[in-house]
């Protein structure tokens, strides 16, 4: 629940927010952006394919991590046609380590749809882009504004914080209801021309100046008009969202051996790391059968998992349709889940039993 603010005070704040005029933002912001913008490998091109790939990768992933993945990905799949023609296996292998694999599968599905239905051309409207798999309001706005100069707003982690502070919006953010007022602010401020530059400038300002902790207001081009700064509330905005507590999980991964090969299985629909390969799991027991290879700890969607890894010889008849027997060398070429990759390293370093 957000903090209760008296109605009169709220009205005063809302008036202050409304006083943040679009030109007073765009002009100084774009001037600052021209000299301070980040040098990123997907910048400097209005190719919608590159914008799209970068924006999908940037969802829930830090910029520094995305840099190397982006370069490798577009080297391997330089156009939407090449991505559409690729096998899902190859796409997931290039994505491995970036997390949230649903993004990669949807990217691939959308590439196939673009080629099949649009001759590989991207729709030029937000609505047209949002009809593609995995493209939501934010990504559609980014592609439309950056690649096609459509006056479309965007709200993501950095711009959300900047806009909230600019207008002094002190209610919790996140989710459709929490973010809607921020989308309205973004809509009001995005210029009719040069929206792509404006959107990227807001994101850069959030990443470099208007940081979550201790924003550098003395170096901010918008300090004169920023409500949070003028009213001394930069530490209170954005309001903290309630924290989710992590669920603790213990499990056992089994490295099953048969004739120099190990058994792996493909994660099914709705499972963590859907579509990727991993080692079979069984409920954790104080004493598992087999020899202990080590321990792997990982965090996934609010779960903290401690996984004990054991190796044992396969029982007769082990293996099902979703499973494969592979040599330790073959593991290197397969798209594995992130704990699966770490278990594979234990397998390689321990050798076959």
The nearest distance, CB 220 to ligand SF4, in angstroms, is 3
Least Cα distance to 306 among 259, 247, 235, 353 occurs for 247
Residue 211 or 327: the one with the smaller Cβ distance to ligand SF4 is 211
Active site residue 265: no
Q: Is 222 in the site for ligand SF4 (CB under 6 A)?
A: yes
Give SS3 for 163.
helix
Q: How many residues does the chain have?
A: 353
Among 209, 264, 293, 336, binds ligand SF4 (CB under 6 A): 209
80: its two tokens? 């939407």
Q: Is 51 in the site for ligand SF4 (CB under 6 A)?
A: no
Among 207, 217, 239, 300, binds ligand SF4 (CB under 6 A): 217
Q: Is 342 in the site for ligand SF4 (CB under 6 A)?
A: no
Q: How far, CA to CA in Å, does 108 sit from each of 82, 112, 282?
A: 10, 6, 32
Among 143, 144, 162, 167, binds ligand SF4 (CB under 6 A): 162
60 burial type by CB count under 10 A (0-12 exposed, 13-18 middle, 19+ buried): exposed
CA dist 49 and 31 (Å) reads 27
Among 228, 253, 309, 347, binds ligand SF4 (CB under 6 A): 228
Q: Which stretch binds ligand SF4 (CB under 6 A): 121-129, 215-223, 308-316, 321-329?
A: 215-223
Give SS3 for 80.
helix
Q: Is 166 in the site for ligand SF4 (CB under 6 A)?
A: yes
Among 29, 140, 143, 210, binds ligand SF4 (CB under 6 A): 210
Residue 12: count other Cβ atoms within 10 Å of its Cβ: 14
Among 53, 104, 195, 220, binds ligand SF4 (CB under 6 A): 220
Radius of gyration of the chain (CA): 24
Q: Pairing state of beta strands 281-283 and 247-258?
A: antiparallel
Site string for ligand SF4, 11-50 (x = CB under 6 A): ----------------------------------------
217, 226 contact by CB (below 8 A): yes
Q: Which residues bind ligand SF4 (CB under 6 A)?
A: 162, 165-166, 209-210, 215-217, 220, 222-223, 226, 228-229, 234
Active site residues: 55
């Amino acid at each position: 629940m957000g903090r209760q603010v008296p109605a009169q005070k709220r009205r005063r704040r809302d008036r202050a927010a409304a006083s943040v005029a679009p030109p007073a933002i765009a002009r100084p912001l774009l001037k600052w952006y021209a000299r301070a913008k980040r040098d990123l490998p997907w910048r400097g091109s209005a190719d919608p394919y590159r914008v799209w790939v970068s924006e999908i990768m940037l969802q829930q992933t830090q910029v520094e991590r995305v840099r190397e993945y982006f370069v490798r990905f577009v080297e391997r799949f330089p156009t939407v046609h090449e991505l559409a023609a690729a096998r899902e296996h190859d796409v997931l292998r290039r994505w491995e380590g970036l997390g949230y694999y649903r993004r990669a599968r949807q990217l691939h599905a959308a590439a196939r749809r673009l080629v099949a239905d649009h001759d590989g051309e991207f729709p030029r409207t937000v609505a047209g882009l949002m009809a593609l798999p995995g493209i939501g309001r934010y990504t559609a706005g980014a592609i439309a504004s950056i690649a096609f100069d459509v006056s479309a707003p965007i709200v993501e982690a950095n711009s959300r914080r900047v806009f909230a502070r600019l207008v002094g919006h002190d209610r919790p953010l996140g989710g459709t209801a929490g973010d809607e007022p921020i989308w309205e602010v973004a809509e009001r401020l995005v210029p009719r021309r040069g929206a792509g530059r404006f959107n990227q400038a807001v994101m850069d300002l959030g990443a470099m100046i208007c940081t979550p902790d201790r924003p550098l207001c003395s170096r901010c081009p918008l300090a004169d008009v920023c409500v949070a700064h003028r009213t001394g509330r930069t530490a209170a905005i954005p309001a903290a969202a309630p924290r989710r507590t992590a669920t603790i999980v213990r499990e056992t991964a089994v490295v099953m051996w048969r004739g120099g090969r190990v058994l792996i299985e493909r994660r099914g629909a709705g499972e963590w790391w859907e579509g990727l390969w991993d080692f079979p799991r069984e409920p954790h027991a104080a004493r598992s059968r087999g020899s202990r290879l080590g321990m792997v700890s990982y965090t996934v969607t609010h779960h903290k998992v401690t996984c004990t890894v054991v190796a044992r010889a396969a029982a007769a008849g082990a293996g099902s349709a979703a499973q494969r027997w592979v040599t330790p060398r073959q593991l290197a070429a397969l798209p594995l889940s992130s704990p699966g990759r770490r278990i594979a390293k234990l397998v390689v370093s321990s050798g076959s039993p």
